[in-house]
Amino acid sequence: MAFFSLCFAGCTGNRVEEARVVELPKVLIIGDSISIGYFEPTKTLLEGKAQVYHNPGNAQHTATGLAKLDEWLGQTQWDVIHFNHGLHDVKYVDEQGRRVPPDQGKQQIALDAYTRNLDELTRRLKKTGAKLIFATTTPIPEGASGRVKGDAKRYNEAALAIMARYDVSVNDLYSFALPRLDAIQRPHDVHFTAEGSRLLAEQVAQTIRDALDER
């Protein structure tokens, strides 16, 4: 907690009043375009409670996370880190890395590689001393380009085993979104409507509030 001295109007000589400045906790959200969608409303919901930041751009898949994690963390002492990788890992791509129908490519990060990468990412994040929250990957609807319905569930199962091993809290956005997909997700698309992102933000903000209260 920081302190500084202020001499308000009317004070004379050494008469100085002490004013306390409370620095809000710092929260980092790491994730892909789904998190970009809920970032701004989450930031608004936590106004006055925390300073909320997002990694620059799209966090993409776990290999990107491993390559850029130190850059994203910087020198900041984060209080809470809310993170996810998944939708880019399960995406089917061709030899040039372009998204293609599943029968014309292979998954960008296969499940065994995803498991190894996420384990390493979580291990490195634990070293920050921040309270960690892993967000499960949101559902893939039927007909989503370059992805297969059901893969998010498989990757989440692997992720949850890792989070249990490292004692990391879980924000189960998959289960939160699943029963209301028709109302909040765009047709045949992994992305959410503005209202869908707002509802996800409410869930994310509450999970972060709970983490801050546990500090």
Q: What pLDDT is recorded for position 207?
A: 98
Q: What mean pLDDT is predicted for residues 57-84?
A: 98
Give tens-digit pLDDT for 133-180: 999 999 999 999 999 999 999 999 999 999 999 999 999 999 999 999
DSSP string covering 87-130, please? TTTS-EE-TTS-B--GGGSEESS-HHHHHHHHHHHHHHHHTTTP
- How many Cβ atoms from other residues are within 10 Å of residue 44's Cβ? 12
Specify if 18 maps to a domain: no
- How many Cβ atoms from other residues are within 10 Å of residue 152's Cβ? 25
Specify if 2 maps to a domain: no
With a pLDDT cut of 90, the percent of the chain lying above it is 89
| Amino acid letter for position 39 | F
Specify if 12 maps to a domain: no
Least confident of 1-5, 73-77, 159-163: 1-5
Q: What mean pLDDT is predicted for residues 53-60?
A: 98
Per-residue confidence at 206, pLDDT binned at 50, 70, 90? Answer: very high
Q: In Å, what is the CA distance from 64 to each residue of 30, 49, 133, 161?
A: 11, 30, 19, 21
Q: What pLDDT is recorded for position 5?
A: 33
Helix axes 111-126, 151-165, angle to 10 degrees: 40
Q: What pLDDT is recorded for position 22?
A: 73
Specify if 55 maps to a domain: yes
pTM to 2 decimal places = 0.89
Q: For position 163, which CATH number holds?
A: 3.40.50.1110
| Sign of the dihedral through C-alpha 142, 146, 148, 154 | negative
Specify if 9 maps to a domain: no
Of the two residues 22 and 69, the one the predictor is more confident about is 69
Specify if 8 maps to a domain: no
Q: What pLDDT is recorded for position 98?
A: 95
Domain limits for position 53: 24-214
Specify if 142 maps to a domain: yes
- The residue assigned the tokens 């998944």 is 86
Per-residue confidence at 215, pLDDT binned at 50, 70, 90? Answer: confident
CA atoms of 82 and 80, how far apart (whole Å): 7
Specify if 7 maps to a domain: no
Per-residue confidence at 214, pLDDT binned at 50, 70, 90? Answer: confident
Residues 159, 174 contacting (CB under 8 angstroms): no
Residue 7, phi then psi, degrees to nearest 5? -105, 105
- The residue assigned the tokens 């109302």 is 183
Could you give the number of structural domains in the chain?
Answer: 1
Contacts of 165 (CB under 8 A, 6+ apart): 119
| In the predicted structure, residue 7 carries a pLDDT above the cut 70 | no
